[in-house]
Structure 1
Amino acid sequence: MTRKYLVTGMSCGHCAASITEEVSQVSGVTGVEVDVAAGSVAVGGTDLDDARLRAAIVEAGYEVAAGATA
């Protein structure tokens, strides 16, 4: 399963590292791909909890846009 999120406020590699660190701690996550230029975060794993993933991105200091695709 993969979930993709549009994230605002990312501008550099540090941003990507911060999001990767937070999201990787969510149960079920097996991989995180951050595309700073596109403003997207793709999360792979099993039994992914959308609310927890969004909260992890916010915890990293960024905002999740209204739309996310499963």
Structure 2
Amino acid sequence: MEKTLNVQGMSCGHCKMSVEGALNKLDGVSKAEVNLDAASVDVTFDDSKVNVAVMKEAIEEQGYDVEA
């Protein structure tokens, strides 16, 4: 399954690595790709192992806001 999450506060390569790293650590996430210009992250995941709420929490733990 694929989902795009809108993430506020990302502005640099470090932000990109933090968000992608946090998502890629989650069981069930196969790919996370941040687009800084669009302030979003495209996530490919197995929805039987992980859900949007868990991904949102992982991003927020890195200090970024996720818009629904």
Per the normalisation by structure 2, the TM-score is: 0.90
**Distance (Å, rounded) in 2 between the aligned partners of 1:61 and 1:22:** 11
2:35 corresponds to 1:39: no
Q: Which has the higher strand share?
A: 1
Identity %: 41
Spell out the pairing of 1:1-70 with structure 2 (5 A cutoff): 1-47=1-47, 48-66=50-68
CA shift, 1:28, in A, is: 0.5
**Distance (Å, rounded) in 2 between the aligned partners of 1:21 and 1:60:** 10
SS at match of 1:30: strand
Q: Count the aligned residue pairs.
A: 66
Gaps of 5+ in 2: none
**Distance (Å, rounded) in 2 between the aligned partners of 1:42 and 1:35:** 8
